[in-house]
Amino acid sequence: MPNTLISITGRGFSPVFSDNKVMFNGKEGLVSNASPTQLNVIVPMEAQTGPVSVSIHGRTAVNQPVFTVIPLPVEIASIMPTSGGYNTVVTIN
């Protein structure tokens, strides 16, 4: 889901966070931890299912198969009115 912390394992990553650019189908994720073999990345809120690419110093690798983004669950904030008879108009936020 968006805003989830995931781990990407491999080799050749930079231990300097800002050297690693992780893209989720074109949307950049936030690298929160980095080592030569693992990146911890927050999936961006606008991420959609598709490829994930990691770029370090001009070299890029793309995953296979694609990364599946699970949409955030729908949340109901309020229902007005909370009761009513037949043909009552109900507003759901």
Residue pLDDT, tens place only, 27-72: 999 999 999 999 999 999 999 999 999 999 999 999 888 999 998 8
Q: Which residues pair with 5 in a beta bridge?
A: 42
pTM here is 0.77
Residue pLDDT, tens place only, 69-88: 998 888 888 999 988 888 88
How buried is 71 (Cβ within 10 angstroms: 0-12 exposed, 13-18 middle, 19+ buried)? exposed
Residue pLDDT, tens place only, 11-32: 999 999 999 999 999 999 999 9
Q: Calculate the average pLDDT of the chain.
A: 93
Q: Which residues pair with 54 in a beta bridge?
A: 22, 61
pLDDT at residue number 60 = 95
Pairing of strands 38-42, 5-9: antiparallel
